[in-house]
């Protein structure tokens, strides 16, 4: 599916009708799924932003300035019929994610918005979804659904798995929990591997907690888990936390080491890519590692 170009009846029921301030130039149709931008105004859904509701009356002409026009939206906890390719009775109970105002899937992308859960089937491909807008979802969770792409033959710090926390989601006191596991599936000589949790290469923070550079053997496993808490927000916001790091070793043989995540700068006004990264000391076709699990929970 692609973004809406015509009014679409989602056959919603329940919830509450809200008047939400539109962002400049937003032009949602009847049935457009909406999200909150970092500045608090709403627009057609942008993947990863908080879910604001479903437009109940299309806007013919969008505002020229933020907040000049309000949009009516069904919000809270309500039911809607959404087209999800291949949806069947066996999908009841599955979580539903959106990547624009008209595209829904059961698989969570690195940047996508949680909409709700399937509670029934209207017809083949048309799921009855119990939608839940952002204020009623206490913890947003991302889970790597399949093994990540392997890092092979490179010394470049590379994301093995990642999740994008959208601008404006984090508040003072927000807590981010993470747990990740990677495996060195192939190794070469005495080359070392470092795992770390952090942000995009060159971003802020580049790395917040890391394992030691370890001479790894085939099938050595490393685990990093912990949490950070947002202390201040803004372009120079701050956060701190704690973590446990198990140095890469044979499965179940490495004891975790407690580490302090010292206060660091974090820009809460921009998208934050939080990921599990790997760095090899030597580029070799025999060096390969991948992420098997990566879970991020954001309590805002």
Binning pLDDT at 50, 70 and 90, where does residue 210 land? very high
The pLDDT score that the predictor gives to residue 233 is 94
pTM over 0.75: yes
Encode pLDDT of 245-256 as tens digits: 998 898 778 789
Q: How far is CA 7 from the centre of its chain?
A: 29
The DSSP line for 80-104 is: EEEE-TT--GGGTT-EEEEEETTEE
Residues across the chain: 300
Tokens 């590692």 belong to residue = 289
Residues 6+ apart with CB under 8 A from 272: 164, 165, 167, 170, 199, 266
Residues 6+ apart with CB under 8 A from 241: 176, 208, 226, 227, 228, 229, 261
User: Domain locations in the chain?
Assistant: 13-136, 140-299
22 DSSP assignment: B
Q: Which CATH number fits domain 140-299: 2.60.120, 3.30.200, 3.40.50, 3.30.470?
A: 2.60.120
pLDDT exceeds 90 at position 121 = yes
Encode pLDDT of 27-85 as tens digits: 999 999 999 999 999 999 999 999 999 999 999 888 999 999 999 999 999 999 999 99
The pLDDT score that the predictor gives to residue 195 is 96
The pLDDT score that the predictor gives to residue 262 is 96
Cα–Cα distance for residue pair 278/289, rounded to 1 Å: 8
């Amino acid at each position: 599916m692609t973004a809406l170009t015509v009014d679409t009846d989602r056959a919603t029921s329940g919830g509450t009708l809200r008047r939400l301030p539109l962002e400049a130039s937003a032009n949602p149709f009847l049935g457009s799924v909406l999200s909150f931008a970092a500045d608090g105004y709403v627009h057609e859904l942008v993947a990863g932003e908080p879910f604001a509701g479903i437009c109940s009356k299309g806007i013919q002409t969008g505002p020229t300035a933020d907040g000049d026009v309000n949009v009516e939206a069904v919000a809270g906890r309500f039911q809607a019929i959404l087209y999800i390719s291949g949806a069947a009775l066996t999908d009841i109970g599955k979580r539903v994610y959106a990547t624009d105002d008209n595209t829904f899937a059961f698989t969570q992308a690195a940047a996508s918005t949680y909409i709700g859960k399937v509670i029934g089937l209207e017809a083949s491909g048309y799921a009855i979804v119990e939608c839940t807008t952002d204020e009623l979802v206490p913890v947003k969770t991302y889970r790597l659904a399949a093994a990540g792409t392997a890092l092979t033959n490179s010394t470049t710090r590379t994301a093995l798995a990642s999740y994008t926390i959208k601008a404006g989601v984090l508040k003072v006191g927000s807590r981010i929990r993470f747990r990740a596991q990677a495996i060195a599936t192939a190794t070469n000589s005495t080359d070392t591997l470092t795992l770390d949790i952090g942000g995009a290469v060159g971003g802020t923070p580049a790395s917040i907690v890391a394992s030691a550079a370890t001479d790894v053997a085939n099938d050595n496993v490393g685990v990093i888990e912990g949490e950070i808490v947002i202390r201040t927000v803004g372009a120079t916001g701050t956060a701190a936390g704690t973590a446990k790091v198990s140095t890469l070793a044979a499965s179940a043989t490495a004891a975790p080491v407690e580490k302090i995540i010292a206060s660091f700068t974090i820009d809460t006004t921009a998208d934050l890519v939080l990921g599990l990264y790997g760095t090899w000391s030597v580029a070799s076709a025999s060096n390969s590692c991948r992420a098997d699990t990566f879970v991020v929970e954001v309590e805002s």
